Amino acid sequence: MQYDLTSLQPVLPEIFMLGAACLVLVVDLFLSPRTRNWSYGLTLAALLGAIAVTVWTAGPERQLLFDGSYVRDPLSDLLKLAILGVDLLVVAYARDYLEQQGIYRGEFYTLTLFSSLGMMVMASADNFLTAYLGLELLALSMYALVAFDRDSRKGAEAAMKYFVLGALASGMLLYGVSMLYGATGAINFPEVAAAIGSGNVDETVLVFGLVFVVLGVGFKFGAVPFHMWVPDVYHGAPTAVTLFLGSAPKIAAFALAIRLLVDGAGGLSAHWSDMLTILAVASLAIGNVVAIAQDNLKRMLAYSTISHVGFIFLGFIAANDRGYGAALFYTLVYALTAAGGFGLLTLISRKGFDAENLHDLKGLNERSPWLAAMMLLILFSMAGVPPTVGFFAKLFVLEAVVHVDKVWLAAVAVFFSLIGAFYYLRAVKMMYFDKPFDTQPIVASVDSRLAFSVNGVAILLLGIFPAGLLQACRAAFGG
Count of C-beta atoms within a 10 Å radius of residue 65:
17
Rounded to an integer, the average pLDDT of 316-327 is 90
Distance of CA 282 to the CA centre of its chain: 20
pLDDT at 111 over 90: yes
Kindly indicate the confidence band of residue 110, based on its pLDDT and cuts at 50, 70 and 90.
very high
Model pLDDT, residue 438? 73
Cα 287 to Cα 308: distance, rounded to the nearest angstrom: 8
Whether residue 399 contacts residue 318, with contact meaning beta carbons closer than 8 Å, is answered with no
Q: Tens of pLDDT along 214-249?
A: 999 999 898 888 888 889 999 988 989 999 999 999
* pLDDT > 70: percent of the chain: 99
Statement: residue 96 has pLDDT above 90: no
pLDDT value for 2: 54
CA-to-CA distance for 315 and 402, rounded, in angstroms?
11
So what's the pLDDT on residue 464?
Answer: 92
Q: Of all residues in the chain, what percent carry a pLDDT higher than 90?
A: 52
User: 10 and 72 in contact (C-beta within 8 Å)?
Assistant: yes
253 and 312 Cβ atoms separated by less than 8 Å? no
The predicted structure's pLDDT at residue 86: 93
Q: 384-425, pLDDT tens digit by residue?
A: 888 899 999 999 999 999 998 899 999 999 999 999 899 899
- Residue 263 in contact with residue 126, Cβ under 8 Å? yes
Amino acid of residue 10: P
Q: Are 283 and 375 in contact (CB under 8 A)?
A: no
Each residue's pLDDT tens digit, 144-163? 999 888 888 888 898 999 99
The domain spans of the chain are 5-475
106 band by pLDDT with thresholds 50, 70 and 90: confident
Q: Can you give the three-state secondary structure of 201-215, one letter per residue?
A: CCHHHHHHHHHHHHH
Burial of 208 (0-12, 13-18, 19+ CB in 10 A): middle
CB 253 within 8 A of CB 166: no
pLDDT for 479 = 61
Arithmetic mean of pLDDT over the chain: 89
What is the identity of the amino acid at 100?
Q
Per-residue pLDDT of 4-40, as tens digits, reads 666 788 889 999 999 999 999 999 888 887 888 888 9
pLDDT at res. 197 = 85
Q: Which residue has the higher pLDDT, 354 or 196?
A: 196
